Structure 1
Amino acid sequence: MDTTSQATVGLQLIEAGQRVTVRVPATTANLGPGYDSLGLALGLHDTLTVETLDTDELLFDLRGEGAATLPRDASHLVVRAMAAAFRRLGFRHGGLKITAENVNPHGRGLGSSASAVVAAVTAANELVPAESRRGRDWILQLTSEMEGHPDNVAPAISGGLALSWQDSDQYRSTTATVVEQVVPIVAVPDFELSTEAARALLPASVGHHAAAMNAGRAALLIHALTHSPEFLLAGTEDYLHQSYRAEAMRPSAALIAALRAEGYAAVVSGAGPTVLVLANGEANAAEALDFIADFTAANTPDVGWRVLKLSVDVEGAKVDVHRR
């Protein structure tokens, strides 16, 4: 018996003739001081549709971001994540027809891999029989294991502002409602930075003073996002990671420094290199957009920037299921 056959022994085959569509938001993590613990869902969505076939084929239609470079076979992250979820639930898949419509830029710090695994695991969970399906906590646990931390997957699952933590080997999260005045803006540069490369720049430890300062700012940031956005600038001050990563994304670091000097709550989105601004109201957002346009034209003419004014997604992963 080969390895593949051994891996599927005792697993039930997923019923053919089902279709599930999952719409998942992009996310921004850390938000300055909330390293590996805070994440925000954004109104920018990838859509994954999976149909189960009565053959052994894998048909993969990939559109949008990553269409020119990502694989369309079993090595794709979506296929691997679905297979892992099925196994954890006691099932295996036969043929699949997958359509991925990607809007979220890849390798830019907007949670593209988290969106993919959340979409895949959510789809797999919906395709098993009702008695075998699990809840959001199960999806959070498995996707956090896949990603290594919950800060992006949690808001992709639940929407809103996600506050996540780990108890031993268990990942947990809760959500908070962001006040309507908060307007997220992302400035996405035309270069990528892998999360692994960004993490490699961090020191193994930081001093007690820096940790204490960071804890205070993280607490203030939650208050600013949920009650008093006038504290966003102070609340987004970070002492743990951004300064160490600046050398890997100098254009982004320069833009953040300039924005903050003008009073805008700007931070690195996730591991970067996207710049996130948390504006306080529409007027502040319009001013920030003008500033970004002027600064990037004058100071980073060799970098292409895609600047988007977004909303906070409050729904998280949305599922539409059709069964024969």
Structure 2
Amino acid sequence: MTFVEGAVRVRVPATSANLGPGFDALGIALSLHDELEAEVRPDGLVIEVTGAGAEDVPRDESHLVVRSMRAAFEALGEQPPGLRLSCTNVVPHARGLGSSSAAIVAGVVLARGLVAGGALLVDDDALFRLAARLEGHPDNVAPAFYGGFTISGKDTPPEGEGGFYSVGSAVDPRVEVVVFVPPTPVSTAVARGLLPARVPHAEAAADAGRTALLVAALAGQPEHLWRATRDYLHQSYRRPAMADSLALVDELRDDQVPAVVSGAGPTVLAFTDASGAAALRARCPDGWTSHHLTVDRDGAVLL
């Protein structure tokens, strides 16, 4: 196996999972990006980080991008003698915008890019499945890798092959979003820990219907997004960990704005179009930040 000379760069989008009712299944890529660069060195490991999380992330083999690169190199058949990694982070950490998935996807794409003919050794679908295994679930990994709006999950033997899958679905060009990012993070583990082991059958059925409607609404009928984003399975249970976020969701939805908790939170995402974004951003709570974003249709891209 031959490593390429020089540096390889990748751009990876932020993502929002669930989108209300599509718990652990739906995800969308957004026009907010981390950019990373890596190259093979004769020895050692050098990590440079600027931007979001720079004060907190490790600078050793435990760094999530490095761990993901190591897993991809293993799949490719050989580890490099040394590495230099430079990360310019824009995606907020622990805010429900897919920062960990962005790191994992960036790592596996960088590793493959550093190997001559890497795409012949590990194709896109295999690389996606590796990234999903590293993350543990595919709902953020899929849009980060493929771009656009994705429906993803994992087959469960004996019904399926036991592998992760992702299917892309259309997004109406009118669909844009505003995200409201609070100053305080909430870990995914904490947010998941608030969910009950069982939910009422009626609520599960209602969520299934809204999820199906959401796919149709995003594809070409955005006038149905408010109804389609109503969730019954997870958001209300997470209120103790993100009361301000759920209060904002309630306030927006009372005004017929299709608003949801982004992923495990605490960021709030509201669907809009180009004409409505400015008015929405004006409703950003004090101390929060907001971004008007479009759908990233490319996913992870080598630059």
TM-score bucket (shorter structure) = over 0.9
Deviation at 1:285, TM superposition (A): 2.3
Partner SS, residue 282 of structure 1: coil
Contact in 2 for aligned 1:126/1:133 (Cα 8 Å): no
Partner SS, residue 316 of structure 1: coil
**1:278-297 superposed matches below 5 A:** 278-279=271-272, 281-290=273-282, 292-293=283-284, 296-297=285-286
Distance in 2 between residues matched to 1:205 and 1:284, nearest whole Å: 38
Deviation at 1:17, TM superposition (A): 2.8
Distance in 2 between residues matched to 1:15 and 1:119, nearest whole Å: 17
**1:1-324 superposed matches below 5 A:** 15=3, 17-54=5-42, 56-130=43-117, 133-168=121-156, 169-279=162-272, 281-290=273-282, 292-293=283-284, 296-297=285-286, 304-320=287-303
Distance in 1 between residues matched to 2:31 and 2:211, nearest whole Å: 23
CA-to-partner distance for each residue in 1:134-155, whole Å, 9 max, x for gaps? 2221111111111111000000
Distance in 2 between residues matched to 1:309 and 1:184, nearest whole Å: 6
Partner SS, residue 247 of structure 1: helix
Deviation at 1:258, TM superposition (A): 0.2
AA aligned opposite 1:159:
G
Distance in 1 between residues matched to 2:134 and 2:198, nearest whole Å: 25
Distance in 1 between residues matched to 2:3 and 2:76, nearest whole Å: 14
AA aligned opposite 1:24:
V
Partner SS, residue 120 of structure 1: helix
Contact in 2 for aligned 1:17/1:53 (Cα 8 Å): no
Deviation at 1:284, TM superposition (A): 2.5
Superposition RMSD on alpha carbons, in Å?
1.3
Partner SS, residue 28 of structure 1: strand
Deviation at 1:24, TM superposition (A): 0.3
Deviation at 1:89, TM superposition (A): 2.0
CA-to-partner distance for each residue in 1:225-280, whole Å, 9 max, x for gaps? 1110000000000011000001100110111100000110000000000000011x
Contact in 1 for aligned 2:4/2:114 (Cα 8 Å): no
TM-score (structure 2 length as normaliser): 0.95
My pick for the range that moved more, 142-151 or 129-138, is: 129-138
Identity %: 48
Partner SS, residue 35 of structure 1: strand
Deviation at 1:16, TM superposition (A): 6.3
Contact in 1 for aligned 2:4/2:115 (Cα 8 Å): no
Distance in 1 between residues matched to 2:34 and 2:13, nearest whole Å: 6
Partner SS, residue 226 of structure 2: helix
AA aligned opposite 2:291:
L
Deviation at 1:92, TM superposition (A): 0.8
Partner SS, residue 276 of structure 2: helix
Distance in 1 between residues matched to 2:12 and 2:47, nearest whole Å: 18
My pick for the range that moved more, 130-139 or 220-229, is: 130-139
AA aligned opposite 1:85:
A
Contact in 1 for aligned 2:16/2:27 (Cα 8 Å): yes
AA aligned opposite 1:58:
L
Contact in 2 for aligned 1:39/1:151 (Cα 8 Å): yes
CA-to-partner distance for each residue in 1:189-215, whole Å, 9 max, x for gaps? 000011111000000111111111000
Question: In the alignment, what sits opposite 2:159?
Answer: none
Contact in 2 for aligned 1:264/1:288 (Cα 8 Å): no
AA aligned opposite 1:214:
D
AA aligned opposite 1:229:
P
CA-to-partner distance for each residue in 1:8-47, whole Å, 9 max, x for gaps? xxxx6x6363421110000000000000000000000001
Deviation at 1:282, TM superposition (A): 2.1
Question: In the alignment, what sits opposite 1:4?
Answer: none
Query: Would you say how many aligned residue pairs link Structure 1 and Structure 2?
Result: 297
User: Structure 1, unaligned stretches of length 5 or more?
Assistant: 1-11, 298-303
